[in-house]
Amino acid sequence: MAKSTMWAAVVTEYGKPLQIREMAVPEPGPGELLIKLETCGVCHSDLDVRNGSTAPANPKFPLVLGHEGVGRVVKRGVGCSLIEEGMRVGLPWMHDTCGQCRECLTGYESFCTRHRGHGFSVDGGFAEFAIVKELYTAVIPDELTSVEAAPLLCAGVTAYGGLLKAELAPGKVCVIFGCGGLGQYAIQLAKASGATVIAVEANEQKLTLARRLGADHALPANAETGARIRALGGADACLNFAPSNKVWPAILEAVNARAWIISVAQVPEPVQLNLEWLLYTGARITGTSVGSRQELRDLLRLAVDLKLKLNIETVSLRQADEALDRLARGQVEGRLVIDFTKH
Ligand SMILES: [Zn+2]
Ligand SMILES: [Zn+2]
């Protein structure tokens, strides 16, 4: 007989530790798939949701966190026709979007103001079972293990989505600020574009890792950073993965004319912007958030072809809350991934 209950790590109230609860296994509705999770990555946004610093207009409690899940389809709702039972699929950030707005219809669906997020406005992947929509999931290539694939579903596609906006090519210089999980993916993907890659990071171990992942230059984050980038030819694209506004002066000093400045990390503190400087440099400032479904599919393929690497440490579902605390303290080198075979 199929299991009727499951263990899940849930938010019961913002600002409180996650609770491990036994809950009913959800039933897939029309167009939905029930998946049995094998892994789920732990993202910095999960921490923001637990703390309540990021919240939907109408929060639901208890809420199962998690938006980097990988699992096998165990049941299909009516109307599913593309994905078979037994296939391994992803539970990404986007549960669904409105499918009707300009953003949805022109390739920018991650900016749909009516999109629903897993582990945010609907239940996510910190549970033994979860629901994904057939049209919003992605099949995981056989070459990737479920542990390797999990962080691609948010960290990976976010890094990739940001780089796609940076117009990288051979001869261009791309600076990656912050070399945690997303930055580590970004270094490898930027390198594959043929650009020269400069990594900037305060933590010495992460700088060593950045070099190993292919960064042409790895610079410590300090008052000299901007000048050192200028000495290397200046930046044609700066992507900020560091959760701090302290990198802003270095970015302003580093950029070449018409450079891209792309905000990826969630930084709530403001920065100063001189409009005359903007006029004379023609710098282009934008932000990025996850990626479209097609970008996710492309990234999963690229992860296989480029053999994308990430420093991953696995934990059990029961360690989910502790994993968030470690993220809050900055004690994670790459990515933590919940492995559901661990107890
Ligand atoms: Zn995330
Ligand atoms: Zn929309």
In the chain, the percentage of residues whose pLDDT exceeds 90 is 95
What is the Å distance from ligand 2's center to 68 Cα?
A: 22
Within its chain, how far is the Cα of 233 from the centroid? 30
Taking the centre of ligand 1 as the mean of its atom positions, its distance from the CA of residue 256, in whole angstroms, is 30
- Would you say 63 and 55 are in contact if contact means Cβ atoms under 8 Å apart? no
Q: How far is the CA of 144 from the centre of ligand 2 (A)?
A: 31
CA of 323 from ligand 1 middle (Å) equals: 14
Ligand nearest to the CA of 151: 1
3-state secondary structure of 311: coil
Q: Write down the pLDDT at residue 330.
A: 87
With a cut of 90, say whether residue 333 has pLDDT above it. Answer: no
Residue 155's φ and ψ, nearest 5 degrees, are: -55, -50
Distance (Å) from CA 1 to ligand 1 centroid:
34
Q: Which residue has the tokens 């905000």?
A: 263
Q: Which ligand is nearest to the CA of 289?
A: 1
Task: Give ion ligand 1 contacts, CB < 5 A.
Answer: 43, 45, 154
Say how many C-beta atoms besides its own lie within 10 A of residue 113's C-beta.
Answer: 9
C-alpha of residue 66 to centroid of ligand 2, in Å? 22
CA angle 158–101–160, rounded 5-degree value = 15
Q: How much of the chain, in percent, has pLDDT values that exceed 70?
A: 100
> What global pTM score does this model have?
0.96
pLDDT on residue 343: 83
Encode pLDDT of 88-130 as tens digits: 999 999 999 999 999 999 999 999 999 999 999 999 999 999 9
Mean pLDDT of the chain: 96
pLDDT on residue 40? 98
| CA 331 to centroid of ligand 1, rounded, Å | 17
pLDDT for the residue 331? 87
38-60: average pLDDT: 94
- pLDDT of residue 234 exceeding 70, the answer is yes
The confidence band for 1, taking pLDDT boundaries of 50, 70 and 90, is low
Ligand nearest to the CA of 99: 2
Q: 126-167: per-residue pLDDT in tens? A: 999 999 999 999 999 999 999 999 999 999 999 999 999 999
Task: Say if residue 37's pLDDT is above 70.
Answer: yes
pLDDT at 2: 75
With cut-offs at 50, 70 and 90, classify the pLDDT of residue 3: confident
Distance from Cα 220 to the centre of ligand 1, integer Å: 26
Asked if omega into 30 is within 30° of 0 (cis), the reply is: no
